Amino acid sequence: MKGYWSIVWKRFTQNRLAVVGLCIVIFLFIIALCAPLIANNKPYILIYNDTVYFPIFFEYKEFSGTDFKKIEGYKIFPPIPYSYSEYDLTAIVLPPSAKHVLGTDEQGRDLAARMIYGTRVSIFVGFVAVFIYVTIGIIIGSMAGYYGGWVDIIISRIIEIVMCFPTFFLILTILALWGQSLLNVMIVIGITGWTGIARIVRGEFFKLREQDFVLASKALGARDYWIIFKHILPNAMAPVMVSATFGIASTILIESSLSFLGFGVQPPTPSWGDILSQSRDFIDFAWWLTLIPGLAIFITITSYNLVGEGLQDALDPKQYR
């Protein structure tokens, strides 16, 4: 007897594109997690005056403010030996080379290092913002779906009102009022994006609340929150997960757009949209500054969408192949 999730997994793996997408997503995750180990201007190991140091992992007071590249001694640097904010005014807007794998930007900062740290921003914003709005959406949607009646009418109207706002301009307005920071971007996307999830959850609850297992637990005297979270919600999660996956893709895109317009992260925090925006000055001769962040955004969004579609097909019970 196979479990539900193993069936879903099997059906998911039959979709080649979705698996490729998932691999890319996992790859990006690893890059984001290990960013300081991949791109850093501190060496992993430094042997200096017969003492062994691990500058990436520990702070040493005797080295504070010193450039490790200028220290004599045995040292092993990460593959990209630059930090994302380290500049070099003698090396501005250089094409990709052995020294700078993806070239440099207008301040002589290493593009590869900035792209890698940019992955962190993208994924972090994507997940946190979607987590916020999925939470809000589930709570509001399940209330509407479970209680129905007046509660449902009021909540549905609120959803419709929120949906009527042109979201992107609402986000711009709120950021102008609150000031720009990564946290505000995540909160704003979170509190404006929940309507889709709420509608899906509401619909699922309508479908499920009359089912026998719900009636049974009601008959046994279970409380509302127990029924909502323990019985109905797990059965309503499949479409929410699909929607959340697509949501991450669109959130990454929104964050890039905001950063592109100068409303996202504060400098010098790297974000793909911000790198792309800076590249506009050099668009006719510095192809790497446009192509690489553009490609990164494109591949990431596509991967999340492929995973989302794969998940959708795998979770849909009507689509037995």
Partner 1 sequence: MNFTRRYILHYICIVLIIVTSCTRFEAVRDPYTLYIHISAEPGHLNPITSNEAIASSINSYIYETLLDRDYDTLELKPQLATKWEISPDKLRYRFYLKKNIYWNDGKPFTADDIVYSFKVIKDPKVANAPLKVYYIDVKSVKKLSPYIVEFTYAKPYFLALEICGSIPIVPKHIFDDGTDFNTHKNNRFPIGTGPYKFVAWNTGKTIELVVNDRYWGQKPDIKRIVYKIIPEPNVALQMLKKGELDVMSLRPIQWVRQTNSNHFQESFYKFMYYQPYYNYIGWNARNPLFKDKNVRKALTMLINRQAILDSLLFGLGTVVTGPFYIHDKYYNHDIKPLPYDPVKAKEILRKAGWSDSNGDGILDKNGIPFKFTLTIASASKFAERLATILKEDFAKVGIYMDINRYEWAVFVNKVDKRDFDAVTLGWSLSWEGDPYQLWHSSQVKAGSNFCYFVNAEADEIIENARKEFDAQKRIKMYRRFHEIIHDEQPYTFLYCTPALVVVSKRFDNVLVHKRGLNYTEWKVTTQ
Residue 194 vs 205, nearer CB to partner 1: 194
Residue 85 vs 156, nearer CB to partner 1: 85
Cβ contact 310:319 at 8 Å: no
Residue 35 vs 175, nearer CB to partner 1: 175
* Least spacing, CB of residue 296 vs partner 1, in Å: 17
Residue 149 vs 179, nearer CB to partner 1: 179
For 47, phi then psi, to 5°, come to: -110, 115
Residue 112 vs 254, nearer CB to partner 1: 254
Residue 134 vs 232, nearer CB to partner 1: 134
* Least spacing, CB of residue 148 vs partner 1, in Å: 25
Q: Report the distance separating Cα 50 and Cα 71, nearest Å.
A: 13
Helix (H, G, I), strand (E, B) or coil at 73: coil
* Least spacing, CB of residue 247 vs partner 1, in Å: 7
Contact residues for 96 (Cβ-Cβ < 8 A; gap 6+): 102, 103, 288
Number of H helices, E strands in the chain: 13, 3
* Least spacing, CB of residue 281 vs partner 1, in Å: 6
**Polymer length in residues for the chain:** 321
DSSP character at residue 228: I
The helix (H) or strand (E) run that includes residue 159 is helix 149-164
For 80, phi then psi, to 5°, come to: -115, 100
* Least spacing, CB of residue 61 vs partner 1, in Å: 6
Q: How many CB atoms lie within 10 A of CB 165?
A: 13
Binding site for partner 1 (CB under 8 A): 59, 61, 64-65, 85-87, 89-90, 92, 106-108, 167-168, 176, 179-180, 193, 196, 243, 246-247, 249-250, 253-254, 257, 262, 266-268, 278, 280-285, 305
* Least spacing, CB of residue 319 vs partner 1, in Å: 18
